[in-house]
Amino acid sequence: MNTSSDNYNSILKKYASNNENFLGRYYPEKNSFYRSEYQRDRDRVIHCSSFRRLKHKTQVFVYHEGDHFRTRLTHSLEVSQISRSIARHMGLNEDLCEALSLAHDLGHTPFGHAGEDVLSECMSNYGGFDHNIQSLRILLLLENIYENFSGLNLSLNCIDGLLKHNGPVADQKRLMSLLPEVENYKLNLESFGSLESQISSLSDDIAYNNHDIDDGLRAKFFSIDDLKNIPILKDIILETYDKNSDKNNHKLVRKLIDYMVTDLIENSKKNIDSNNIAIIKDVYEGKKPMISFSDKAAQLIKDIKSFLFLKMYKHSHIQDWSEKSKQIINKIFTYYMNNYPKIANKFNNNYSKERNISDYISGMTDKYAIDLYNSIK
């Protein structure tokens, strides 16, 4: 009798991540009759505490600033939705795309990139901090819900995809410094990741550029008229704008997501065809990523990022909270450096005091960090 995984596998492209090229798990486990290996990866991510805490972690706005602004959790869900849509149309593995998308931001600190910057400064003499590597530390080491192993024991295909979220690992020395355990997985760090990992990475770009436009408009940091200064976006606005409608922001974001997704699919199909990609080995051995935007769409995304950097990320309101978050993280780090016994029993490993403190702080929500900061004398 075929399993549900076998049935799904039969509709995938030969160059997709499928049963034939499944790499297994570091700790062998029995297969599930009803779920594919990548469904199991996805389910383990969704049910872990690190994923739940994303609901109170900053995307751009701190959690208490409004119920309608994105958080790390809603961002991850939007990345997942976009990546699944792309994967389905291209005959690739939706389940792996979903697992990668939901897991990619687990390592983020409270207060978003501002929190990461200050924690990196605190750890500058102790190996540093990197949120992408921290996601892997969580998945391989820090989640502690199984009796026979640490971490979630995700598939090696999923681990490989997360390692290569931004392409081949450029700084392997840094990776091995922060996560020496990854060497045991015997993965090729110099190759590109699967097509699913490439889709997840660019779905991240699509999601955050669009939802930051949406949140920026909601916060009144800029207007639709301001966005008309961006080529292509001006044409989309002229096509969708109705002066008598109160849905213009939503129409713009929907149209822009559709534009980016369509461009990514069409351009990636051309890449796959022109590079004669037949099996997944061809993807791994490629000289460039197969999933990519056209030059025109890539320039649009670059222009949007530049616009958001000036109009949103450097807005005085965001900058004020960034400075406040630096004070909070600095104070908490210093406190635990001087009072490590208060949390020492939370760790059972051979890592340094500083690394354990970093792991502890990076796992905090905005709310927990603020409350702790206010309670420290």
pLDDT digits (tens, 9 = 90+) for 73-91: 999 999 999 999 999 999 9
The mean pLDDT value for 7-20 works out to: 88
Q: Which of 26-40, 52-66, 281-295 has the lowest mean pLDDT?
A: 52-66
> Cα–Cα–Cα angle for 94, 98, 101, nearest 5°?
135
Predicted pLDDT of residue 2: 58
CATH entry, 4-193+339-375, from 1.10.3210.10, 3.40.50.300, 1.20.1440.120, 2.40.40.20: 1.10.3210.10
Predicted pLDDT of residue 6: 62
Predicted pLDDT of residue 60: 86
The mean pLDDT value for 296-320 works out to: 95
The mean pLDDT value for 59-69 works out to: 79
Asked: is 203-317 a CATH 1.20.1260 domain? The reply is no
Report residue 377's pLDDT band, with 50, 70 and 90 as the boundaries.
low
Predicted pLDDT of residue 3: 60
The mean pLDDT value for 247-264 works out to: 95
Report residue 4's pLDDT band, with 50, 70 and 90 as the boundaries.
low
Predicted pLDDT of residue 246: 84
Percent of the chain exceeding pLDDT 90 equals: 85
- pLDDT of residue 9 exceeding 80, the answer is no
Nearest Cα residue to 108 out of 134, 84, 137: 134
d(CA 216, CA 219): 5
Report residue 10's pLDDT band, with 50, 70 and 90 as the boundaries.
confident
> Cα–Cα–Cα angle for 60, 55, 345, nearest 5°?
110
Predicted pLDDT of residue 209: 96
Q: Which of 135-144, 225-234, 236-245 has the lowest mean pLDDT?
A: 236-245
d(CA 358, CA 377): 21
**195-218 vs 72-90: helix axis angle to the nearest 10?**
130
The mean pLDDT value for 25-50 works out to: 95
- pLDDT of residue 1 exceeding 60, the answer is no
Q: Mean pLDDT score of the chain, rounded to an integer?
A: 94
- pLDDT of residue 339 exceeding 80, the answer is yes
Per-residue pLDDT reduced to its tens digit, 143-194: 999 999 999 999 999 999 999 999 999 999 999 999 999 999 999 999 999 9
Predicted pLDDT of residue 5: 63
d(CA 353, CA 367): 24
The mean pLDDT value for 298-310 works out to: 96
d(CA 33, CA 61): 42
- pLDDT of residue 37 exceeding 70, the answer is yes
- pLDDT of residue 96 exceeding 90, the answer is yes
d(CA 42, CA 61): 27
The answer to whether 290 and 279 have CB atoms below 8 angstroms apart is: no
Predicted pLDDT of residue 59: 87
Q: Which of 197-201, 237-241, 269-273, 368-372 has the lowest mean pLDDT?
A: 237-241
Cα dist from 111 to 153, 217, 335, 365, whole Å? 28, 21, 19, 8
Q: Phi then psi for 288, rounded to 5 degrees?
A: -155, 165
The mean pLDDT value for 222-235 works out to: 93
Domain boundaries, the chain: 4-193+339-375, 203-317
- pLDDT of residue 11 exceeding 90, the answer is no
- pLDDT of residue 120 exceeding 60, the answer is yes
Give residue 20's Cα distance to chain centre: 27
- pLDDT of residue 323 exceeding 90, the answer is yes
